[in-house]
Structure 1
Amino acid sequence: MSRAVVVDEPGVHRLVEGEPPVPGPGEVLVRVAAAGICLSDREVYHGRRDPGYVRYPVTPGHEWAGTVEVVGQGVDPALVGRRTVAEGFRTCGVCERCRAGDTSLCTGGYDETGFTRPGAFADHVTVPARLLHPLAADADLRAAALLEPAAVVAGAVRAGRPEPGERIAVVGAGTLGLLAVQFLAAYAPGELTVIEPRAQRAALAPAFGAHEILTPAEAEGRQGTYDLVVETAGAPTTAASSCLLARRGGRVVLTGMFTTGATGIDPVHLSLSQLTVRSVFGAPSAAWSFAVRAFTAGLLDPGPLISHEFPLERYAEAVALVGGGDPGTGKVLLRP
């Protein structure tokens, strides 16, 4: 038998039990080992996600890792028993953007595991085999559940083009921010600063390679300093403040998810300072490969970011923790 959390409509969920899903041609059935909960999952539960980016009823869960149990027609049987993660975007693969490798910009229409397709808050999840990123035989599946946000951060870091010896700032010390610190530390920056108002959230940053931690107030004295600024907080003011931190001719990458009404970037400052500003939503296939390689090589260790683990039966309690404001809450996992 196989269990799954189903959100029928905002605020209404149930745990259902039935036969495991059957993978179709080109698909695999994966037994889920661990699935991470992020703020977008909380938005799904509370009905705050843009209607174009969710389809009820839905089994959430887009951050996960597991083991292939069954393969569908046309899929290599050698995948059975393989530890794996998988991309969430169900890209068309044939549009101009997909053909250029920008799979997170697919123009075929939004379709994503855990939002428009059944996700991994379940014992099993079915995904196209072409989206798999197989892991090493001894991979830690608990830590690997964080490879989805790691892929997003990998896309941001690659877009920022860090170079050895540069002065780099990471704005925000949540899951994305601390993963960014690990990636960026591998580039041997001359200065790697984390900007975070809550000291407890930033406590892991030095162990991950950060040289110093500043509060936003302290960071105001560093405006115009950094070669690269990677914004991960998604707070109302952090897009604008991140641009102020960059030196003239510097680079800024916006990774946080902003809500309507966030402070706009000053176009005068943007123009006169000749900044390069990029944004990231999701992760293209190349960023997934980058994150998995870093994880396999030991350059990326998401495990210490996990603070809570719950069974499927405690889904509502787990979701309530995420975004609840407790600085001691890191990544929350469901463990089927």
Structure 2
Amino acid sequence: MRAFVLHGPGRAGVVEVEPPVAGPGEAVVDVARVGVCGTDVELYSGELQYLRDGRSRFPVRPGHEWSGRVAAVGAGVDPGWLGRRVMGDTMLGCRACRRCRVGRQHLCEDREEVGILGRAGALAARLAVPARSLHPLPETVDDALGALVEPGGNALRAVRAARLGPGDRVLVTGPGTIGLLAAMFARRAGAEVHVLGRDPATLEFAASLGFAHCWTAESLPSVPYEAVIDASNAESLPARAVEWVEPGGTVVYIGLAGTPSLLDTRALALKDATAVGILSASPALAATITAYADGSVDPRPLIAATIGLDEVAPTLAGTRPPTATKAPKIHVTPTP
């Protein structure tokens, strides 16, 4: 089958590989849609921290935001999965350690991560994953939405951590896919959502989604924010987030800068503020599927274009598909 493979920094292409076979406890999925993520860009550039610390090694087959249909199951797997439309968890814990036993398998020290760490990803015709990682998709959640569940789960966890209620004001920094999804979930929670960005075109797109309060750092009004969700990759914003949040409020960090960010913990303590870090969508995947299924959150406008496998490398290198809108997310259909 055809698969997209990263051979090294800036070296990638579509190659023929052996299709996966479902081992014990596994399912093989015919992949329908895959989202291109910032993590995939960092894998392509060689800047991902996992590569720097030796946890991930080339070659890598990326793709961890996906949807598809179960084509085969291995020994010990309920045959009822066959033919079902699914998406899957990225984080695969060992199931034996203390963290896994208490339900924190996404923090397992020995975890695999689909398309990132130790397990081939979805940028291929077929994908093999543990059946325990699968989540069924209802008919109201199409393939495009299914491939947006993983980033949506990250965003939903960020909003939950922000402890937002009706009438609260939240500032979301970084209007990329995760930031805009967080804005959508915060709006669903009844919050007044403000969006901070740098690029006027990006802020114009955010406004087109119904977010009336879109700002640059220079134009940001001096109003109280009960919570700040930092979904940016700017190393300066983690500290600014503490400046902007109300005393007693919450700062949620879900974006990652390429270099370390400096944060004065005195500012955090003197505001009696709470800081929360978010890694992984795992605990919120089912709730995200429900939100998409009932229409309370519709992230379809975030998809800028859908491309084929042969167009993935230029996309990772920074070339936007010619048909792309101003939206942030690129999707891939691995098979024609």
Normalising by structure 1, we get a TM-score of 0.91
Aligned CA RMSD, in angstroms, stands at: 2.1
Task: Note closer, same or farther for the CA distance 1:209–1:186 as it changes in structure 2 (3 Å cut).
Answer: farther
Alignment of 1:248-287 (within 5 A): 248-262=247-261, 264-284=262-282, 286-287=283-284
Contact 1:59 1:120 (8 Å CA) reproduced: yes
Partner residue, 2:329: 331
Counterparts of 1:228-307 in structure 2, within 5 Å, are: 228-262=227-261, 264-284=262-282, 286-307=283-304
Name 1:170's counterpart in structure 2: 172
Q: Corresponding residue for 2:71?
A: 69
Shift in Å, 1:99 = 2.5
Aligned counterparts of 1:140 and 1:111: Cα–Cα separation in 2: 27
- Deviating beyond 6 angstroms after TM superposition, the runs of 4 or more aligned structure 1 residues are none
Aligned to 1:101: 103
1:198 corresponds to: 199
**SS of equivalent to 1:28:** strand
How many angstroms does 1:45 deviate by?
1.5
1:137 matched to 2:136? The reply is no
Q: Deviations over 1:158-192 (max 9, x none)?
A: 22221112111111111011101111111112x22
Contact 1:6 1:60 in 2 (8 A): yes
Kept after mapping to 2: 8 A contact 1:181/1:208: no
Q: Distance in 2 between matches of 1:120 and 1:31?
A: 9
Q: Is 1:40 matched with 2:39?
A: yes
Q: Compared with structure 1, are the counterparts of its residues 196 and 99 closer, same or farther at alpha carbon in structure 2 (3 Å cutoff)? A: same
Distance 1:281 1:327 in 2: 29
Q: CA deviation at 1:216?
A: 1.1
**CA offsets 1:36-78 (integer angstroms, 9 cap, x no match):** 1112111212221222342221211111111111111111112
Alignment CA distance shift 1:53-1:301 (3 Å):
farther
CA distance in structure 1 between the partners assigned to 2:210 and 2:130 by the alignment: 36
Q: Are the aligned partners of 1:62 and 1:114 in contact in 2 as well (CA < 8 Å)? A: yes
Cα separation, partners in 2 of 1:240 and 1:20, compared to 1, 3 Å: same
Q: CA deviation at 1:281?
A: 1.7
Distance 1:249 1:23, change over 3 A: same
Residue 213 of structure 1: SS of its match in structure 2? strand
Unaligned runs of 5+ in 1: none
Q: Which range is displaced more, 253-262 or 270-279? A: 253-262
Asked if the contact 1:185–1:208 (Cα under 8 Å) also holds between the matched residues in 2, the reply is no
Say if 2:13 and 2:313, in contact at 8 Å, map to a contact too: no
Aligned to 2:312: 315
CA distance in 1, matches of 2:326, 2:247: 36
Q: What is the CA distance between 1:267 and its match in structure 2?
A: 2.0
Contact 1:181-1:209 at 8 Å conserved across structures? no
Which of 149, 160, 169 is matched with 2:151 structurally? 149
SS at match of 2:63: coil
Q: 2:62 aligns with which of 56, 60, 63?
A: 60
Instruction: Describe the SS at the equivalent of 1:288.
Output: helix
Distance 1:179 1:60 in 2: 22
State the shift of 1:23 in Å: 0.8
Q: Conserved in 1, the CA contact under 8 Å of 2:29 and 2:71?
A: yes
Secondary structure at the aligned position of 1:259 is classed as: coil
Report the CA distance shift for 1:322/1:30 in structure 2 as closer, same or farther (over 3 A). Answer: farther
1:218-239 CA distances to partner (integer Å, 9 max, x unpaired)? Answer: 22x426x111111101211111
1:182–1:209 CA contact under 8 A, matched in 2: no
Q: Provide the rounded CA distance (Å) in 2 between the counterparts of 1:18 and 1:266.
A: 49
- Aligned match of 1:227: 226
Question: Which residue of the partner structure matches residue 85 of structure 2?
Answer: 83
Contact 2:35–2:148, Cα closer than 8 Å, also in 1: yes
Find out whether 1:213 has 2:249 as its counterpart: no
The alignment's TM-score, normalised by the length of structure 2, stands at: 0.91
C-alpha separation between the residues in 1 aligned to 2:320 and 2:266? 34
CA contact (8 A) 1:229 1:245 kept: yes
